[in-house]
Chain A
Amino acid sequence: MQASDRFNINSQLEHLQAKYVGTGHADLNRFEWAVNIQRDSYASYIGHYPLLAYFAIAENESIGRERYNFMQKMLLPCGLAPEREED
């Protein structure tokens, strides 16, 4: 990599995208954006114990089960990815 590349806006963006999961880009599609938001939300629910308890009461499940369910949902938070359009 040349020295000038480091200051290139694209390489900076790439660096950000690598470091911070969820940093967007110009070609981000609706699905990718939604997946990201959902994963962030689930992580937040898991991190905030009172919120987790709130959900657990609503669904009448144990808090431990609720946490596990949210973790599981992080795999496919918005269902299957849409089919890729041909370039």
Chain B
Amino acid sequence: MSYLVCVLLFGLMVGSVGVASNPSPYFAAMGLVMVSGVGCGVLICFGGSFLPLVFFLIYLGGMMVEFAFSAALSAEPYPYGWGNRSVKMYVAAYVLGVGCAWKVLLGKWSGFWGGILDESGELLVLRGDMMGVAAMHDVGGWILVLGGLGLLLTLFVVLELVRGVSRGGLRTV
């Protein structure tokens, strides 16, 4: 099981290097999809049940859909993938930097791979993180209301930003 965590952490690093090196947004969104899928797996390996599902749902189903159709606004005829020379140089620089940082900072560390996996050893329905989110609805009711009001405000902000015709953030287009 700790090898699975190793593989997933490696997948996280590969995905985030793929986003951070400067490909075209089509491919950077693919890297972010990989990071969110693998991050969901990492959270599951550490005992979560509700939070990884929320993570997967919101990042893949919410944000990546938005970024995918906004990528049509940044269309170009020859998008830079990871085979392009300048992108490969960024990838090499980031991999080198991450490798040096890992060597320096993890060099003194020895032991197992930080594996809190499961304390009880049996299948549970109500896990800890689900109880934490339930606490947000129970004693944290006001922050939930404030968060909802903030999201509603963001909706109106966004609508006003793209209104156009000399009202809002655009010129008369």
Mutual binders A and B: no
On A, residues with C-beta under 8 Å from B are none
On B, residues with C-beta under 8 Å from A are none
